[in-house]
Structure formats: structure tokens, C-alpha cells
A and B are shown apart, each in its own frame.
Chain A
Amino acid sequence: MAVTNVVLAGLGGQGVVKASDLLSTTAFAGGLQVKKSEVHGMSQRGGSVTTDVRFGEQVLSPMVPMGEADFLMVFESSQVDLNLGWLRPGGVLITPALIPEGALKNRKSLNVALLGAASMVMDFDEQAWIDAIHRCLPEKLHAVNEQAFALGRRLGAELSRPEVIEGV
């Protein structure tokens, strides 16, 4: 099984790192090797944040090579163009445009809604994602995030899986 590469990008305060925690926890619980890497430090000061999540039977480097992401999830529309270089040809781009303004009770759960959309084209059971939400978030946030996740799943139903390209 080849390594699946996911790059998550956004701005400080959007829950990019939290979303990458949820994704890695889900993949790890499924018995896969997982590596997740990001750069902290200045990120809380509103600057760009990207985090790399890689999973498969054996993962070596924790960083996704440029142009090799199977999935690129961007949490802030202004950051989409900037990060397109991560995505491989045939890879899947997931952006906030998928979640209409006003669809979420609290736009803060956009990160989990976009994960819900991504979950439609990744090979993990819905329950594994819910378990990860329970594990990684405080109890008072479970309900709102489960709702956001479910909304993302409905809106992500039209996404197609990454194309398999020879040699990638």
C-alpha cells in the first residue's frame, strides 16, 4: 500500500493543527503507520499554517514532498492558490467553498466540516472519525463538531476520489 499524503493549510487560529490531529488519530486507530508534521511558533500570530499528514504501511519522512499530496485541504480561501503546488496531478482539493456561508452554526467548526467532506473520499469508517472527535476534543465540543462533521459528509458526497495515475 502506497503512502497517502495530505496537506492541510490555513491561518493561525483556524484549527488546522487540530484537524490534522483528528485525521492522524483516525488513521492511527486503523492500525496504519502515521506521521504528522508541522511548524509551530509564530503560527498563533495569524500567519499561514500548513501541516502534513502521511499514512500507510510504512512512512519515512514526516514531510509531504512538494507536488505529491493526494489531498490538499485549505481552510481559508485566500490560502488556496498559494498552496496548490503541494497537490499532485489527479489529487483532491478541498476548500471552504464546499461549505456555504451560514451552513454552520459556528464557523469555528469549519475545520471539522471539511474533514467530514474529506472522509467521503478516504478509506476510514465514519465511526473511526467520530471516535477521534471524542478523543481529541473536550466533551462540551463533541455535539457541535459531530454536527459539523455530518454536514461536511453530506456536502462532500459529490467529491471524487483521487485519480490513480501510473507512476505516482
Chain B
Amino acid sequence: MASTERLLLSGNEAVALASLHAGVRLGTGYPGTPSTEILEAFSLIGGPAQWSPNEKVALEVALGVSFGGGRTLVTMKHVGVNVAADPLFTAAYIDLTGGLVLISADDPGMASSQNEQDNRHYARAAIVPMLEPADSQQAYDFTLAAFELSERWRIPVILRMTTRICHAKTEVIPGEPRPSAMEPHFERDIPGRVMIPAYARPAHHKIRAKMEEIARWNEESGLNRIHPGDKSLGIIASGISVMHAREAAPDATLLALGLTWPLPMQMITDFVNSVDRCIVIEEGDHLLYEALTVAGLKVEGKPEMYRFSELNVSRVRRIIAGDVTPEAPRPRGKPPELCQGCSHREVFEALSRLNCIVAGDIGCYTLGVLPPFEAMDTCVCMGAAIGVGLGLRHVLPEAEARRVVSVIGDSTFVHSGLTGIAEMVYNPPPTGHVVLIVDNSTTAMTGRQEHPGTGRSLNHEPTNRMDFVAVCKAMGVKNVEVVDPQKDEAKFEEILKDMMARDELSVLIAERPCILAAPLIRKLEKAEEEKRCAAGCAAAPVE
């Protein structure tokens, strides 16, 4: 790659290119807006990438790669980090070998998410460094820096992006590849990697000491930058807020933080002391403001109303002016809906006709909550349909309990539904329960990614397929049926009704490929069939 080449890349593509240049041995993750395209782009340019069933498993696989001396990338959306939080918090205690970078793609404004959590909290809580790029060039540069930081201090590093970094295209001038000199190998390190209390106690002290060292290094890391300007107003910002603030207050002096945890406190103190008035511009929670205030620095934060949704140039102008008058509402536009021809439509029509209490889940089918269906009563997080449905069944009077159905998609079922089935079999409600898996053979919502139930890997190559019917039966579910809700609409409703009437445990699989994914699925299946046939013919004895 020539060093003068200008590319127009999304932040996600920039992370993918940097990961290739960093010599990543394996990229793992679970699809989630706005992170999904990172692994897809990485795979397209030749990087080894795979989808895991969920973010926790993805991070655990990545840890294994790191222990084996390979660099590894793990991608997920903000709520995915909640799922991966268990390994993350202890991974921080462990001396890693290969560099491990975790991408947290946050969704302020909730374009496509169930909450607006600010994952900057994770760096503080899990005791790991965090980098926040402000454009695609920094997404590229910081990814490479993150791998080097991770290997130098043998610690996981979070690269936190947001929708306007992930999905904005800006100029990138890539550099030369900078892979690690290390070759995969195993070195035994029992006290460093086996987190029993005796080894974890000193590890906690060690990680705190590492963070102090990184904080000192960060003072001169080159990852934080001062844009000089008029000293009457100083702004401290990170991530996309840097760009909004530079545009909103072009004359101000601005400190753009890149390595935002641990903070370079001396650099920040000197900056605050160098300006007349200093204001912190941050999207989401008041984290940076609170950290600086606790340190005794005289900085202004933002009014509470700007905690919500994305920032933009207009809102930053208002924050600087201290304007708390109501904001003009943004154009709302036409809400999304289930595609015409989508088989989820028949499913929600049936649920509506049968007056079901629907414990729902995360995916395209969550759109079943909107008119004309309005056939969903709860939606919390990946996999919650089953647990929530069971709780309702346990507590409601019999007539209402019988109406409860858990609705979960195929990819979501693999992600977090299996433990729900175990719960159902272990603690069956008196009225039994019905779990409806709406299986459209793809992870539709995020743009049609493969998962363990499709039998194809990230790059659509055939692999082992997880058989939902066999799994549910093996786990102890009495009744398991598969129906195409579009082709056999009446039969689908009849079976559902019958299952609801019994005091037994049932799983109904509504199986029909997503209409957007179907053409590709048909093409892949045809190609696989031809390949099998060719192999079969070649193997056949010649007469």
C-alpha cells in the first residue's frame, strides 16, 4: 500500500484495513449495528474473520488467540459488550501475549438499539485503556496504536467508536503494514493466566499499576492533540465531539483527547490553566466532566438535556452558549416496517388473532410491535424472550398464563436462547410454555449475516450446521414442530393454538428464509449442490 494513496473509507473499513496491516491472526465478533461491517470488510480484504454465536464467546476465542501469541480483533455493538463483560473484566487481570483490541461501537441516539448506554464507563470499570477516534484516519491510526499498546502492556484495549465514526466515510492515508514480530507459540504462565483468588489478588494490584504507567505514558503519547486558538475559550472533547466542537467554535483552543482512559491529567491540567474558560464537550454521560471536577479542575459541563441523543454542530453551539431553551424537533420520517412478503407478517397476524401475550426479542421481528400488528408486549435484550415469557407464565393466573408465547429469532436463539430453553426444561411453569423460533435463516436485522444455524461461515462457505429441532429435543422439550408460516398459514396457527392449550413444553419453529436473503441462499445452496455432485461424479468409478 503506497503511503500517499488517498482512500475514502468508513470508520469500520478503516479499522478493518488497520487490522490487516497489524497482522491480525483472527477477527471474531457478533453482528450489531453500527459494528457489523468491520469483520465483513476485514474478510473481504483477505483477513481471517468469523462470527461467533455471541460476543462473550467471541471475546473468549480472541483471548485464546492472544494466549497463543496472535494479534486478535473482537467487534461488537455497545450492548454486546454487556454480554462480553464477564470475560472482559477478568481478561484485564491477565497478562496477554498477542495484542487484543475490542471494538465497542456505540449508538448514541439509538438509530438501531434498545438503549443508549455510554461504553466509556467500561474502560473505568474493567480497568482497560480506551481509544476514541474522531474520524476514519484516526480509526486507522488508533487501531494500529491499540495493538501496540495492548502488546506493550499485555492488556486488552477498547477502541470505542460511535455511529458517526463507524458509518461516516472520510479520507484515510494508510501507512505501511506494521505486524507484530511475534509468531504464535504457547508459553505456560499459570499465575498469570489462571485467575484463582491467590493469583487474582496480586493481578488486581498489577493492573492498577499498569494503568498508572499508561497514564504517565499518555502525557506524551501523541494520541492527544491541542488545536491552538484563542485562549478565552478552551474546549476538551473526544471522538466525534472533537469535529462538532472545532466547527462550532473555530476560534477556540481545543484539546482533542484520543487515549481517553487513563487520562493524561497533567496535560489536561496545563490546558485548563492556559485558558480563561474551559468547557467539556462530550456525547452521552458527563463522564469526562465528572473525572475532571473530582480532580479539582475548574471546567464547565453541559446542561442535562444534552446527555440524550447524538451531539451535532448546532447542539454544541447551544452548549457553549448555555442555551437550555427547547430544541426544535428533528423530522421524524417514515418508521421502518416488516418488508412486504416477509413471513414474520403471517406470524404476528396469528399471534394477534390468538390474543397472545408476546415476550419478544431483538431482531427485525421486533417490528411486530408496530401497527398494524402491535403483537409484542416485551423486548429487553438478546434472548430475554424465553426467560421473560417463563416468568410471566409462573406468576399470571392460568387463563392469562396460557396466552404467553416467547418469540425469538434464529440468530438470537443461538446467541442467548439456549440457556432459556434449559431454564424452561428445568423449571417448567404449571401451564407449560410455548417458544416460537422465527427462523428466517439469517441474521436479518444487521444486514443478513450467517450464524451457526445457517450452516455457513462468515464468508458464506459451508460449515457444520446447528440443528434446532435436535437441540431442543435433546434438551428435553417435549413437542418440537417446524412449519412454514407463509406456505402453511392455517397449519401454523392450528399448531400454535394446540401448543398453547397443553400443559407441556413446546418449541414451534416458523421456518422460511428472509425474502432479502433468499436469492443469495438459493445461489449458495445451488453452488454447494453442484460442488457435491462434481465431487461425487469424480469419485464414482469409471466404467
Instruction: Please list the residues of chain A having a beta carbon within 8 angstroms of any beta carbon in chain B.
Output: 11-12, 21, 24-25, 28, 33-48, 50, 59-63, 65-66, 78-79, 82-83, 85
Contact = CB atoms under 8 A, between A and B. Distances in A.
Contacts of B339: 45-46
Contacts of B334: 11, 46-48, 78-79
B interface, size bucket = 35 or more
Contacts of A47: 333-337
B409 to A, nearest CB: 14
B141 interface: no
9 contacts: A12-B336, A25-B8, A28-B171, A34-B170, A39-B163, A60-B246, A61-B244, A63-B164, A85-B328
B367 interface: yes
A24 B8 contact: yes
Contacts of A61: 240, 243-244, 247, 312-313
| 9 tightest Cβ-Cβ pairs between the two chains A and B | A41-B112, A48-B333, A47-B336, A45-B336, A62-B168, A42-B336, A37-B168, A60-B247, A41-B33
A45 B338 contact: yes
B169 interface: yes
A85 B334 CA distance: 16
Given A63-B164, A63-B244, A79-B334, 9 more contacts: A35-B169, A42-B112, A42-B336, A43-B336, A45-B364, A47-B334, A47-B335, A63-B313, A66-B330
Contacts of B197: none
A79 B333 contact: yes
Contacts of A85: 328, 331
Contact of B167 (A12, A25, A37): A37
A37 B164 contact: yes
A43 B34 CA distance: 12
Contacts of B446: 41
Contacts of B8: 24-25, 28, 34, 36
Interface in B317-348: 328, 330-339
Interface of B: 6, 8, 33-34, 109, 111-112, 135, 163-164, 167-171, 240, 243-244, 246-247, 312-314, 328, 330-339, 364, 367, 445-447, 516
A113 B408 CA distance: 42
Contacts of B516: 44
A46 B337 contact: yes
Nearest to B340: A46
A50 B332 CA distance: 11
A78 B171 CA distance: 34
Given A40-B34, A45-B367, A65-B312, A24 B247 contact: no
A42 B367 CA distance: 10
B336 A24 contact: no
Contacts of A36: 8, 168-170
A40 B111 contact: yes
Nearest to B366: A42
A59 to B, nearest CB: 8
B333 A35 contact: no
